[in-house]
Structure formats: structure tokens, C-alpha cells
């Protein structure tokens, strides 16, 4: 009997020779344009559909910049960004608008991304209404239920919530639009260990149950190992490792990845977080 081979996952994103630079205003001359700092240096890769892909690297590696290109908060200088077979890297805002519902982001600091003047239900309902996904108070309460928050949280303001609860509201706002892709950028870095465990477990379960494609940016390889299916390791805007998590962790190809792996604290995170 021949061994079965797992089919190659369909790519939701196909990236080819992606480049992006910023003006270095700190060194702008008195006359002429500021010099450019190249942040992403010709990235080429696929992000498979229906899986959680970790994006990891040291500070300044370009991981958050890359994530923002995926959700088109930043436009690349050159290269191709294909989303579900459609080039989105060069689209203007008007052309991007129909795609915004499918490209959602959960921010690192929920307090800065949640309107402090609005009640929780309005924070969730407003984007739903904008993109024709309902937008009633009951719709918002249903989204809160999916992230484990009871209905009475709908009438609270962000400052009345704990850090973990605010992050759950951010997740509820993203999933309420039923997107195809979510970028999660260091979403547990400001939380205590218990809240981290709860939010990570929630994200993993939602991704599985909703068939989401998730890019999870983190500096914590211990979390990446247990949460993600695949991992991309960046260093100074270049890919130094890329593949299924276990393959990369067991056989890292770059010294950068080996250094990051060596820095994982022992003991690692508790496996029961993700059960």
C-alpha cells in the first residue's frame, strides 16, 4: 500500500518580490529628499488558506511592516501581493473598499484601537453596518458571545474592561465581519500570563471553527510553536526560514532562527493552554 501524501494547501496570499522602503526623516538633508530605508527586501512566499502562520523576528526585522502590507494599511514600492488570485498591492482606496471586510486586523494595544467614547456594542456594530453585515445591538452581542463575553458587556466602555476583555472585544469586532483573513499583531504581549493563555486558546478555536486564515505576529517562539501551523522568520527584511512549524523548529536553516530558538525560556508554555 502506498503512503498517502497530504495535499498542498491552497495559497490565500501569494507574495512575489515584495519591496517597501520609508523615508529616513531623521537624516534628511537641508536640500533634497530624505534617503530611503529599505524595510522589506524582495519577499516571495505563499500564505496558505485556512491555517495560522506565525511571523517572527527580532525587533526591526520588518514583521509588523509586512503584516500591514498584507491588510493593505501600507502599499508596497514594488512586487506582487495576490489575495485569492487578485493583485491588491497597487489598488487605490476606492478599489480596496470591497476587500476591507475580508482583511481584518487585531491590534497590539486594544485601548488605542477602541473608541473610548463608545459602548462596546457600538464598537462592534459600526463596521458591521458599514459593510452590510447587520450592525444591531443583538448582532454585537452575538459576536461577544463567540469570544466568551456575556451580553451585559455590550453596555460597558473600554476603560471598564480588563486588558484581556478589551482584546476579546477587538477579536469580536474582527470576526463579526466574517473575514477570510485576520492579522494578529503581538496581541498578547501586554497581557498577564493567564489572559495570554485564554486569548490564544480563543484565537486558535475561532480560526478552526470559522475556517480563518490568520497571520500571527509575535516575538515569542514558544507561542508560535504551539499556536501556529506554519512560520516565517524574518531578519532585516528578508526571509531566513519558512515552512511548517515543526520542520522549521526541528531543522532551522539560519543562525537567526537558531538564536531565537535558543532564547525560548524553559519551561515552555503549558500545552494545556491549547486543549
Model pLDDT, residue 34: 75
Q: Which range is least confidently modeled, 90-99, 128-137, 258-267?
A: 258-267
Model pLDDT, residue 271: 57
Model pLDDT, residue 128: 95
Task: Tell me which residue has cell 475556517.
Answer: 211
Tell me the average pLDDT of the chain.
Answer: 90
Q: How far apart are CA 146 and CA 210, in angstroms?
A: 11
**CA-to-CA dists, residue 88 to 61, 69, 265, angstroms:** 23, 10, 39
Q: Please say if the pLDDT value at position 180 is more than 80.
A: yes
Report domain extents, the chain. 11-107+181-274
Q: How far apart are CA 13 and CA 49, in angstroms?
A: 8
Q: Concatenated DSSP letters for 190-241? A: TS-HHHHHHHHHHHHHHHHHHT-EEEEEES-HHHHHHH-SEEEEEETTEEEE
Task: Tell me which residue has cell 537641508.
Answer: 30
Q: How far apart are CA 185 and CA 187, in angstroms?
A: 5
In the chain, the largest separation of any two C-alpha atoms, in whole Å, equals: 73
**Backbone φ, ψ for residue 20 (5° rounding):** -150, 140
Q: Please say if the pLDDT value at position 3 is more than 60.
A: no
The structural architecture, per CATH, of the domain 11-107+181-274 is 3-Layer(aba) Sandwich (3.40)
Model pLDDT, residue 1: 45
Q: Please say if the pLDDT value at position 132 is more than 50.
A: yes
pLDDT digits 0-9 by tens, 88-98: 999 999 999 98
Model pLDDT, residue 191: 86
Q: How far apart are CA 164 and CA 161, in angstroms?
A: 8
Amino acid at each position: 500500500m502506498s503512503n498517502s501524501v497530504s495535499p498542498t494547501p491552497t495559497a490565500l496570499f501569494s507574495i512575489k518580490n515584495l519591496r517597501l522602503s520609508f523615508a529616513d526623516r531623521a537624516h534628511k538633508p537641508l536640500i533634497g529628499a530624505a534617503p530611503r530605508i529599505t524595510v522589506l527586501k524582495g519577499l516571495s512566499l505563499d500564505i496558505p488558506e485556512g491555517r495560522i502562520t506565525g511571523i517572527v523576528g527580532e525587533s526591526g526585522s520588518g514583521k509588523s511592516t509586512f503584516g500591514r502590507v498584507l491588510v493593505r494599511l501600507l502599499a508596497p514600492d514594488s512586487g506582487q501581493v495576490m489575495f485569492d488570485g487578485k493583485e491588491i498591492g497597487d489598488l487605490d482606496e476606492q478599489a480596496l473598499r470591497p476587500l476591507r471586510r475580508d482583511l481584518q486586523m487585531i491590534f497590539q494595544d486594544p485601548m488605542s484601537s477602541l473608541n473610548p467614547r463608545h459602548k462596546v456594542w457600538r464598537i462592534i456594530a459600526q463596521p458591521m453596518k458599514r459593510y452590510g453585515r447587520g450592525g444591531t445591538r443583538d448582532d454585537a452581542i452575538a459576536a461577544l458571545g463567540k469570544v466568551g463575553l456575556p451580553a451585559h458587556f455590550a453596555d460597558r466602555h473600554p476603560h471598564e474592561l480588563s486588558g484581556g476583555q478589551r482584546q476579546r472585544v477587538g477579536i469580536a469586532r474582527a470576526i463579526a465581519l466574517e473575514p477570510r483573513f485576520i492579522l494578529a499583531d503581538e496581541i498578547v504581549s501586554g497581557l498577564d500570563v493567564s489572559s495570554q493563555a485564554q486569548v490564544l486558546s480563543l484565537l486558535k478555536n475561532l480560526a478552526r471553527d470559522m475556517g480563518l486564515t490568520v497571520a500571527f505576529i509575535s516575538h515569542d517562539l514558544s507561542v508560535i510553536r504551539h499556536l501556529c501551523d506554519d512560520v516565517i522568520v524574518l531578519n532585516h527584511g528578508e526571509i531566513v526560514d519558512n515552512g511548517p512549524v515543526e520542520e522549521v523548529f526541528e531543522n532551522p536553516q539560519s543562525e537567526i532562527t537558531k538564536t531565537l530558538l535558543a532564547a525560548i525560556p524553559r519551561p515552555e508554555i503549558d500545552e494545556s493552554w491549547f486543549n
